[in-house]
């Protein structure tokens, strides 16, 4: 007798990224990155509302939270929290949201498809466009560290708090150095 067998194409044929099961179209990451750059340029050149945080948080709206390590323990990154008392609350909230949004987009989202080195380059470019100084170029190196930490822990909370502590230290340095 004849047997009917359904042949399924491999799941990887429908996915992008390193892990199977992500149903993201091929160029979604680059499209969102382009939106990020456009929003930063529009903010810098035309003084319109900076929408970059919303662009950075878009992957969270469409993908499961587990993909981003949101259920992982916070580990030692809680050490950054005492610094928040040195800041005004609105500054701390702004820094926290920006850190989380950047890590969500660059680490938890883009690093599913691209290497840490390439993502660190992509991370540096908006900083250079926005600030255009030597420090903006040097963000490449902390980005490599954040990427390494994310690869080792797969914890978005950990790298977000690591990033936040870095931003707080930078904020304090600028505040006290005039």
User: Tell me: the pLDDT tens digits for 61-87?
Assistant: 667 666 766 655 444 444 445 555 555
**Residue 19 belongs to a domain:** no
CA distance 142 to 153: 16
Residue 79 lies in a domain: yes
Q: Is pLDDT of 142 > 90?
A: yes
In a domain, 118, yes or no: yes
Question: Is 5 part of a structural domain of the chain?
Answer: no
Contact 16, 26 (CB under 8 A): yes
Residue 84 lies in a domain: yes
Listed in sequence order, the residues at least 6 apart from 130 whose beta carbon sits closer than 8 Å to its beta carbon are 40, 43, 44, 136
With H, G, I as helix, E, B as strand and everything else as coil, classify residue 19.
coil
Does the predicted TM-score (pTM) go above 0.75?
Answer: no
Q: List, in order, residues 6 or more apart from 134 with CB less than 8 Å away.
A: none
Q: Between 111 and 65, whose confidence is greater?
A: 111
The count of structural domains within the chain is 1
Asked if residue 115 belongs to a domain, the reply is yes
Mean pLDDT of 118-136: 95
pLDDT at residue 150, as a whole number: 96
| Mean pLDDT within 93-112 | 93
Instruction: Give the per-residue pLDDT at 17.
Output: 47
Look up the domain containing 73 and give its range: 27-177
CA angle 157, 158, 163 (to 5 degrees): 95
From start to end of 13-156, where are the E strands?
Answer: none
The token pair that represents 168 in the structure block: 């707080």
CB 33 within 8 A of CB 56: no
- Residues 106 and 144 sit within 8 Å (Cβ to Cβ): no
The tokens 């970059």 sit on which residue?
A: 52
Higher pLDDT, 163 or 175: 163
**How far is Cα 101 from Cα 95, in angstroms, rounded to an integer?**
10
**pLDDT for position 61:** 66
Within a domain: 3: no
In this predicted structure, what is the pLDDT of residue 25? 57
Q: Quote helix, strand, coil % in the chain, to nearest 5.
A: 75, 0, 25
Residue 103 lies in a domain: yes
């Amino acid at each position: 007798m004849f047997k009917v067998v359904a042949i399924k194409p491999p799941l990887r044929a429908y996915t992008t990224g390193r892990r199977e099961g992500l149903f993201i179209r091929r160029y979604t990451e680059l499209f969102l990155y382009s939106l990020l750059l456009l929003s930063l340029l529009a903010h810098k050149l035309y003084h319109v509302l900076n929408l970059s945080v919303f662009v950075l948080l878009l992957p969270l709206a469409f993908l499961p939270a587990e993909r981003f390590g949101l259920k992982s323990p916070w580990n030692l990154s809680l050490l950054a929290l005492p610094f928040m008392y040195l800041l005004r609350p609105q500054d701390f909230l702004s820094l926290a949201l920006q850190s989380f949004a950047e890590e969500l987009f660059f680490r938890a989202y883009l690093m599913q498809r691209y290497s840490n080195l390439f993502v660190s380059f992509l991370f540096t470019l908006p900083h250079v466009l926005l600030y255009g100084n030597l420090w903006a170029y040097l963000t490449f190196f902390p980005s490599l560290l954040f990427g390494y930490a994310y690869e080792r822990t797969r914890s978005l909370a950990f790298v977000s708090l690591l990033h936040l502590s870095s931003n707080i230290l930078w904020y304090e340095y600028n505040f006290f150095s005039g």
